[in-house]
A and B are shown apart, each in its own frame.
Chain A
C-alpha cells in the first residue's frame, strides 16, 4: 500500500463511524497531513461541515455538531484540548491522535473531562505528509538544526529528533512493519535518530510494533543530507522538481500570487498527482517533452471547445450540458499548466538557466576538470566534507571511473538531466545487497542478509523532488524492491542555502560567545 492511500484510509475510518454532522478540528501540522490526501468535497460527503484549527478562539456553542479532533500529541495541543473539554462547545468529542500518547497525557485529558463529553480516544498513526505515493515529508520548522552540533542547542536538537522519530514510527505503523535499521556512520544526527527509533520500536513500544513477521524485514536507512549536498543545489529540468525550484511547492500547492496578472481563481493552484491526470503523467518529464505535451493538451482542449460552440439541435444541447462540468474542469486544468509553464520559461529565459545548468551538470557529473572541481570542492566545504561517505563524484573508485568514461563515450541523451543523485547509487547497492556495513552500520543486533523488499530511506535535512523522481521511476520499473523516500522537508536550492546560512550564523555567534 502506498502512503497517500494509507492516510486516506485513516481519515476515512476516522469519519465513517460517527453519524451526523461533524466538525473536524486540526492543528497546524495535521492540517497539511489531511489536506494533501483528502479534499473538501470528500469531507462534505462524510458530513464534515466545518474544519477548524485547534487554536481558533471562537466561542460559538454548537451542540448539534460532533467534534472530531485529529491532532499531534504535543503538550500545547493537550493544553488546548483541556481548556476546550472543561468548557465544551460541541455535543460529542472524538479524539484522534496522530502518534503514541503518553499515559500522563491521557490522565490529564481524563481529568479535565468532567462532563464526560469524550466518546473515544484513539491513535491513528498518520503522522507524515504524504505528498506523493512514495514520497513523504514531515514539514519541519527549524530544519537547519541538523547541521549544528548537538551541544549548541540541545532542546531544539531533541525536538528535531523527536519529530523525525515520530514521523518514521508513523510510517512504519501505517505500513504495519517493524524494520531493521541502518544509518550513515559519519553523521551524528542520523545515528541518533536511528538509535532513538530503534529504542522506540524494540523497547518502549515493542508490543505495538509486534506485527506478523515477514521473512525478510523491511529496511529503514537513515542518511544525512550533507552526504549529497549537490543534488539540492542543481537546477532541475523535470516538471515537478522544476516547479519547486523556480516557483516553490508547499504541500502540493503552488503560490502564483507574486507572478502578477493571474486570474483570481489561479492565484494558488494544486499540483497533486492524485487528482490531476495530466500532472501525474508529466511530473517526471523533462521540460522539452512537457512543452510538447502541453501543446497537445491545448489542441485537444481547442477541439472540445470548438465542438461545444456549434450547438444546433436539442441533442447537442443535452450533450453539452452533460459534458459541461468536465469541460470546465479541463479548462481550469489547461490554464493552470499553461500559466505555470509560461512563468517557468520566463524565468529560464531571464536567468539564462540553460547555460547555467549546462555548466552545473558538467561540474556535477564529469568532475574531471580539476580547476572547476576544486572550485566546487571549496564551495562545498561549507557543507562539511567529512560528512560524506559515498563518492559523490564517482571518481574514487576505478569501476565508477570506467563507467563514467563509458558514459562519456556513449554521449548523454540530455545534457541537462544527466546528473543522477547519489541516492540512486545507494538504492542500487541496497538492491544488490552490497551496502557496506562499515559505512552504514545496523542498530542493535538486528542484522540481516539478503535484499529487503521494502525500504524506507529517511534523509535528515530534507529530500528533493529529483530524488523522489528517482525513487518513483524505480518503483514503476518494479524490480521487486519497493522504496519509500522521506525527509524532514522538501528542499530546493533556495531553501537549502537558507538552512546553511542559518546554521553558519548560529555556530558563528556561538563561537563568539
Chain B
C-alpha cells in the first residue's frame, strides 16, 4: 500500500508563487489603504480576515470587490446551529458510555455474594440505570430536532449526521439492553438458587433437629420463622428490581423502534455510496423540473386569466354594440 506525499512539493510551489505574487499586489495595497478606511463596512472585514491570515497580501483586494467580502465571512463563518445540537448528542452518548462501564462494574459487584444486604449497590445500579435511560431518551429527542425539510445540501448533511448519531445511539441502547438482560438473568438464577438453597437448608435443618430431638414437634421455631420472613423480604426486593429493569427495557425498546427508521441497513442499496450520490443528483433534477413546471403553470394561469377577461370584455362590448345598433 504505497502512498506518496506531495504536500512538500506543493507547499514549495505555493510559497514560491506567493513570493512572486506579493510584490505585484503590494502597490495596490498602498493604494487601497486609504480607500478602505473611507468605506465603513469592509474595514471590519479586513480586520477579520487579516486576523486569520496575518501574512496574507490579498486582503486589501476584498475591500474593492464586494463579492469577496462574503468569502471573508466564509472563512470566519460559524457553523450552523444544528452543529451544537449534534455535538451535544455525541457528548451525551459519550457520557452514557462511561456510565455504562460503571454500570457493568456495579452489576458485577451486586452479583457477587456479599455479607451486607447490598442495598447501596442496588441503589447505585438503580441510579445509573435511570441516568443512562434518561440520557438515551434525551438524545433521542434532540435527534428528532436535527431534521429539516428544506431541500438543500445542508439538509443532506443534517440527515447524514442524524443517521450516524442514530446508529451510535442504537448500538449503545442495544448494548445497554443486553447488559441489563444478562443481569436480569443472573439475578433470576440467583434468586432461584437462593430459594432452592434456603429450602434445602430448611429441610436439612429440620431433619437434623428432629434427629437431635424427637420430643419437639416438627414445626417452625422462631429462628426459622425469622429466616423465612427475611428471605421473603429479600424476594420482594428482588421482585421489585426485576420489575424496574423490565420497565426500562420496555422504554428502550420504544427508543429503538423510533431510531430504526433512521438507521441504514448494512449491505443494502441504501448503504451504497454511489447510489446516494446519484440519488442526490436525481432529487436535485427532480426539484428543478418541478420548479419549471410550477413556473409554467403559473405563467399559463395568468395568461389564461387575461385572455378570459379579454374575451368576456369583447363579448360584453359586442352585446353593447348590437344593442346600440338595435336600439338606436
User: Do these two chains interact?
Assistant: yes
A residues contacting B by CB (< 8 A) are 1, 6, 9-10, 13, 21, 23, 26, 31-32, 34-35, 38-41, 43-45, 47, 49-53, 56, 58, 60-65, 87-89, 91, 100-101, 103, 106-107, 109-111, 113-116, 118-125, 173-174, 176, 208, 211, 251, 253, 265, 267-270, 272, 275-276, 314, 317-318, 321-322, 324-325, 328-329, 332-333
Total A-B contacts with CB atoms under 8 angstroms apart: 195
Asked whether B1 lies within 8 Å of A40 as measured between CB atoms, the reply is no
Subset of 8 A-B contacts with CB under 8 Å? A61-B77, A88-B75, A110-B13, A110-B14, A123-B6, A174-B1, A267-B269, A321-B256
Asked whether B163 lies within 8 Å of A44 as measured between CB atoms, the reply is yes
Looking at the assembled complex, report how far the CB atom of B191 sits from the nearest CB atom of chain A, in whole angstroms.
15
Beta-carbon nearest neighbor of A272 in chain B: B267
Asked whether B260 lies within 8 Å of A325 as measured between CB atoms, the reply is yes
Contacts of B38 in A (CB 8 A): none
Contacts of B267 in A (CB 8 A): 39, 270, 272, 275-276, 329, 332-333
Q: Encode contact with A along B119-162: 1 for CB under 8 Å, 0 otherwise.
A: 00000000000000000000000000000000011101100110
For the complex, give the distance between the alpha carbons of A380 and B13 in Å: 55
For the complex, give the distance between the alpha carbons of A40 and B267 in Å: 10
The A contact surface, by secondary structure, is mixed
For the complex, give the distance between the alpha carbons of A211 and B75 in Å: 42
Q: Encode contact with A along B169-189: 1 for CB under 8 Å, 0 otherwise.
A: 000001001100100000000
Known interface pairs A39-B271, A50-B157, A110-B14; A101-B6 also in contact (CB < 8 Å):
yes
Looking at the assembled complex, report how far the CB atom of A25 sits from the nearest CB atom of chain B, in whole angstroms.
10
Contacts of B174 in A (CB 8 A): 322
Known interface pairs A61-B74, A115-B58, A121-B10; A318-B177 also in contact (CB < 8 Å):
yes
For the complex, give the distance between the alpha carbons of A38 and B160 in Å: 16
For the complex, give the distance between the alpha carbons of A253 and B269 in Å: 8
Contacts of A39 in B (CB 8 A): 266-267, 271-273
Known interface pairs A44-B160, A50-B160, A106-B10; A332-B75 also in contact (CB < 8 Å):
no
Contacts of A119 in B (CB 8 A): 7
Contacts of A31 in B (CB 8 A): 273-274, 277
Beta-carbon nearest neighbor of A328 in chain B: B265
Contacts of A51 in B (CB 8 A): 273, 276-277
Contacts of B75 in A (CB 8 A): 63, 88, 91, 115
Looking at the assembled complex, report how far the CB atom of B10 sits from the nearest CB atom of chain A, in whole angstroms.
4
Q: Encode contact with A along B1-30: 1 for CB under 8 Å, 0 otherwise.
A: 111111101100110010001000000000
Looking at the assembled complex, report how far the CB atom of A50 sits from the nearest CB atom of chain B, in whole angstroms.
5
Known interface pairs A9-B1, A116-B53, A125-B2; A60-B9 also in contact (CB < 8 Å):
no
| Cβ-based interface call for B253 (8 A) | yes
Looking at the assembled complex, report how far the CB atom of B15 sits from the nearest CB atom of chain A, in whole angstroms.
9
Interface residues of B in 228-281 (CB under 8 A from A): 246, 249, 253, 256, 260, 263-277, 280-281
- A122 touches which of B5, B13, B152, B181 (Cβ 8 Å): B5
Contacts of A101 in B (CB 8 A): 6
Beta-carbon nearest neighbor of A174 in chain B: B1
| Cβ-based interface call for B289 (8 A) | no
Interface residue count on the B side (C-beta < 8 Å) = 62
Known interface pairs A10-B1, A122-B7, A265-B269; A53-B157 also in contact (CB < 8 Å):
no
For the complex, give the distance between the alpha carbons of A253 and B272 in Å: 9
Beta-carbon nearest neighbor of A41 in chain B: B264
Contacts of B276 in A (CB 8 A): 40, 51
Asked whether A116 lies within 8 Å of B265 as measured between CB atoms, the reply is no
For the complex, give the distance between the alpha carbons of A23 and B267 in Å: 22
For the complex, give the distance between the alpha carbons of A101 and B13 in Å: 14
| Cβ-based interface call for B164 (8 A) | yes
Contacts of B177 in A (CB 8 A): 318, 321-322
Beta-carbon nearest neighbor of B163 in chain A: A44
Asked whether B277 lies within 8 Å of A6 as measured between CB atoms, the reply is no
Asked whether A176 lies within 8 Å of B7 as measured between CB atoms, the reply is no
| Cβ-based interface call for B71 (8 A) | yes
Interface residues of B in 41-78 (CB under 8 A from A): 53, 56, 58, 70-71, 74-78
For the complex, give the distance between the alpha carbons of A53 and B280 in Å: 10
New A-B contacts (20) at CB < 8 Å, excluding given A10-B1, A121-B9: A13-B3, A35-B275, A39-B266, A39-B272, A53-B277, A61-B70, A61-B74, A88-B71, A88-B74, A115-B56, A120-B5, A123-B3, A176-B1, A176-B2, A253-B275, A270-B267, A275-B266, A317-B253, A322-B174, A329-B266
Looking at the assembled complex, report how far the CB atom of B238 sits from the nearest CB atom of chain A, in whole angstroms.
16
| Cβ-based interface call for B306 (8 A) | no
| Cβ-based interface call for B219 (8 A) | no
Asked whether A110 lies within 8 Å of B17 as measured between CB atoms, the reply is yes
Contacts of B272 in A (CB 8 A): 35, 39-40, 253, 270
Known interface pairs A40-B271, A101-B6, A329-B266; A62-B154 also in contact (CB < 8 Å):
yes
Beta-carbon nearest neighbor of B164 in chain A: A44
